[in-house]
């Protein structure tokens, strides 16, 4: 997944055996949290000290006023610590504008304890970065990282410009979950649960020994877990049998039962924010494998700040036959909502999935394969800067290609031709497929279209392709029949966003001094986002205007010359 920097992020940088063991673990976790914050170098607003003697007693955080909410009280369920922000999951799926909230950070002043009659807290208030709906039961809010003194974060309802009303504090500071070791999502698939988890440290690109893993089902406090064995595992994905009670009544578990994992060699169960039924309804097992009602061809991608590229990618591939899109939004802060709505008005079937989990593209694609399996016979996994070009360029050519394959084929692999800046200095106004016309001579890697119902139970993938069920094979598309134009090395204004963070789990970030010679990097670039003087001339070995010529001849308006993605929905 490549990223566009047009909309610049306004982020501030950078069951144990004994009670003693449990206390030691919590203290150590809290120490690590404070240590992490102590390394940050951000500038924040000045803070004040409040004395809760002016407030009422406070056994739990106060929910937001129910008069402000359409359904129920809103309160923070979980806090997850990321390198550049804190993610809060909220107890209501209704999305409020960020302007309705404050992020509130607090810490006990030295020498003060919550049991004191007048405990004193240092308090810092900052604007919310963004809000969004997460699933059927929860919304999310993103808060900046606080300074080193502040050990907990909450939300406060903002009732006006001069918002100074008192608020309650928890009895104990609440240390956020670290995303380094966390079960973060779960999806039901027949009589199994597929759990997505960080920190297992399973070997990349390989199926793992499922006999070493267990899944645990229960309320979030973890006092009454039901445990089942894993039946498949790879990378960040663990598939386990569902407890019989959940199989019998899956609707009763939705939004209530959390799922986590453990390793048989370790006693601790991972922290979890994964709840059953958050994303999708229970699959109708009778109809799950019936293809007659499914769409023939869908597409799945993961994006960050790619709103400007979305219309061109969707409109073009709809002409080739793609019927539905799953857009996994990985923390975008551009106008992606507006673009999706505009495309929906035009009749395109788009499902935007909020996926706040960083460095998790492989897991996201595994998750997408489960979602798409209910609706699609074939799903293409490729990025919004990648465009299929076929020898026979005609409407629905791509959907015809997949529809005519043998039933033994479960994956089509198409090679990528990597295009460079093509001597451009600014982003082409009429789109990448017309603007970039010079590329490297030799194809590199490939992207895949797969049968989601024929993937291996582990859902193992390396972004470019999946592991298939035994007995099914893949087809390498001849370059003379089809290629993917990958507009990989765009003008520097766009390309430099790759230095922010790579989305794939097992690909090193550009700023890290490792794997310098890897094909995952641009040759000749180091670890700093510094534009080479000859950037616009690089990666240019063959001038290839085939797709450009076709689009200008067949897609452009005869009067205005505008391409479909240049025209306003108005």
CA–CA gap between residue 59 and residue 283 (Å, rounded): 40
Three-state secondary structure of 277-317? CCCCCCCCCCCCCCCCCCEEEEEEEEECCCHHHHHHHHHHH
Same domain, 213 and 356: no
Among 177, 206, 222, identify where a domain stops: 177
Let me know whether 363 and 465 are in one domain.
yes
Residue 140, pLDDT > 80, answer yes
Say if pTM beats, i.e. exceeds, 0.85.
no
* Number of domains composing the chain: 3
Domain boundary (263, 278, 301) is at 263
pLDDT above 90 (res 267)? no
Rounded to an integer, the average pLDDT of 456-466 is: 94
Please indicate, yes or no, if residue 227 is contained in any of the structural domains. yes
> Lowest-confidence range among 307-316, 337-346, 427-436, 513-522?
513-522
Residue after which a domain boundary falls, among 130, 159, 177: 177
Angstrom distance (rounded) from CA 240 to CA 211: 11
Same domain, 196 and 169: no
Q: Are residues 195 and 157 in the same domain?
A: no
Is residue 146 domain-shared with residue 205, that is, in the same domain?
no
Residue 205 has pLDDT above 50, yes or no: yes
For residue 167, is pLDDT > 60?
A: no
**Same domain (yes/no): 350, 416:** yes
For residue 244, tell me if it sits in a domain. yes
Assess whether pLDDT exceeds 90 at residue 80.
Answer: yes
Q: What integer pLDDT is reported at residue 37 of this predicted model?
A: 33
Position 46 scores a pLDDT of 30
Q: Is residue 56 part of a domain?
A: no
Kindly provide the residue ranges of all beta strands, DSSP E only, lying in 134-242, ordered along the sequence: 139-143, 152-157, 177-178, 182-189, 192-198, 213-218, 226-234, 237-241
What is the C-alpha separation between 340 and 311, in angstroms, rounded? 8
Which pLDDT does position 54 carry in this prediction? 25
What's the average model confidence in pLDDT over 433-443?
97
Say yes or no: 354 and 425 in one domain: yes
Q: Does residue 49 belong to any structural domain of this protein? A: no
471 assigned to some structural domain? yes
* 409 belongs to a structural domain: yes
Please check whether residues 161 and 186 belong to one and the same domain.
no
CATH code for position 363: 3.90.550
pLDDT digits 0-9 by tens, 37-68: 333 333 223 333 323 222 222 223 333 333 34
Query: Residues 173, 188: one domain?
Result: no
Residue 532 lies in domain: 291-555
Shared domain check, 168 and 139 = yes
408 and 491 together in one domain: yes
Evaluate whether residue 32 is within a structural domain: no
Q: What is d(CA 86, CA 142) in angstroms, rounded to the nearest whole number?
A: 6
Evaluate whether residue 113 is within a structural domain.
yes
Of 146-160, 166-180, 318-332, 354-368, minimum mean pLDDT range: 166-180
Over 80: is that where the pLDDT of 463 sits? Answer: yes
Which phi and psi (to 5°) does residue 381 adopt?
-110, 100
Same domain, 443 and 480: yes
């Amino acid at each position: 997944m490549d990223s566009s920097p047009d909309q610049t992020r306004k982020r501030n940088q950078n069951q144990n055996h004994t009670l003693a063991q449990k206390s030691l673990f919590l203290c150590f976790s809290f120490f690590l949290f404070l240590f992490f914050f102590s390394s940050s170098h951000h500038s924040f607003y000045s803070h004040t000290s409040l004395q809760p003697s002016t407030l009422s007693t406070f056994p739990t955080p106060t929910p937001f006023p129910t008069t402000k909410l359409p359904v129920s009280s809103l309160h923070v369920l979980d806090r997850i610590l990321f390198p550049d922000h804190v993610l809060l999951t909220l107890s209501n799926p209704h999305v409020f504008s960020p302007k309705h909230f404050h992020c509130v950070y607090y810490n006990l002043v030295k020498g003060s304890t919550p049991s004191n009659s007048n405990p004193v807290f240092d308090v810092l208030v900052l604007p919310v970065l963004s809000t969004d709906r997460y699933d059927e039961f929860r919304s999310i809010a993103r808060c900046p990282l606080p300074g080193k003194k502040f050990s907990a974060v909450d939300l406060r309802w903002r009732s006006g410009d001069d918002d100074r009303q008192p608020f309650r504090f928890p009895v104990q500071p609440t240390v956020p979950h670290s995303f380094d070791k966390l079960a973060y999502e779960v999806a039901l698939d027949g009589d199994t649960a597929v759990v997505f988890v960080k920190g297992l440290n399973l070997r990349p690109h390989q199926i793992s020994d499922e006999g070493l893993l267990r899944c645990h089902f229960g309320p979030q406090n973890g006092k009454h877990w039901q445990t089942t064995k894993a039946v498949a595992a790879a990378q960040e994905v663990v598939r386990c049998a569902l407890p019989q009670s959940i199989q019998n009544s899956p609707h009763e578990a939705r939004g209530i039962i959390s799922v986590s994992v453990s390793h048989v060699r370790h006693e601790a169960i991972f922290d979890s924010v994964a709840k059953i039924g958050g994303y999708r309804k229970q699959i109708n097992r009778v109809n799950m494998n019936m293809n007659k009602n499914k769409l023939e061809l869908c597409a799945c991608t993961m994006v960050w700040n790619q709103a400007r590229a979305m219309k061109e990618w969707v409109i073009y591939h709809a002409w080739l036959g793609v019927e539905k899109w799953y857009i996994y939004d990985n923390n975008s802060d551009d106008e992606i909502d507006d673009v999706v709505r505009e495309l929906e008005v035009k009749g395109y079937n788009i499902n935007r999935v909020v996926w706040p989990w960083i460095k998790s593209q492989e897991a996201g694609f595994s998750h997408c394969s489960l979602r798409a399996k209910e609706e699609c016979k074939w799903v293409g996994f490729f990025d919004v800067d990648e465009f299929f070009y076929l020898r026979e360029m005609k409407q629905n050519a791509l959907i015809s290609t997949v529809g005519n394959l043998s039933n033994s084929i479960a994956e089509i692999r198409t090679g990528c031709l990597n295009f460079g800046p093509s001597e451009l200095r600014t982003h082409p106004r009429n789109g990448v497929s017309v603007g970039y016309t010079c590329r490297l001579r030799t194809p590199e890697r490939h992207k895949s279209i797969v049968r989601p119902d024929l993937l291996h139970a582990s859902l193992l993938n390396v972004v470019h392709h999946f592991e298939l069920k035994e007995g099914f094979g893949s087809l390498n598309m001849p370059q003379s029949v089809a290629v993917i134009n990958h507009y990989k090395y765009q003008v520097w204004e766009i390309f430099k966003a790759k230095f922010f963070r790579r989305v794939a789990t097992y690909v090193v970030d550009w700023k890290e001094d490792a794997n310098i010679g890897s094909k995952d990097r641009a040759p000749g670039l180091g670890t700093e986002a510094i534009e080479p003087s000859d950037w616009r001339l690089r990666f240019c070995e063959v001038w290839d205007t085939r797709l450009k010529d076709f689009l200008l001849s067949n897609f452009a308006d005869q009067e205005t010359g505008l391409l479909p993605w240049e025209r306003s929905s108005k």
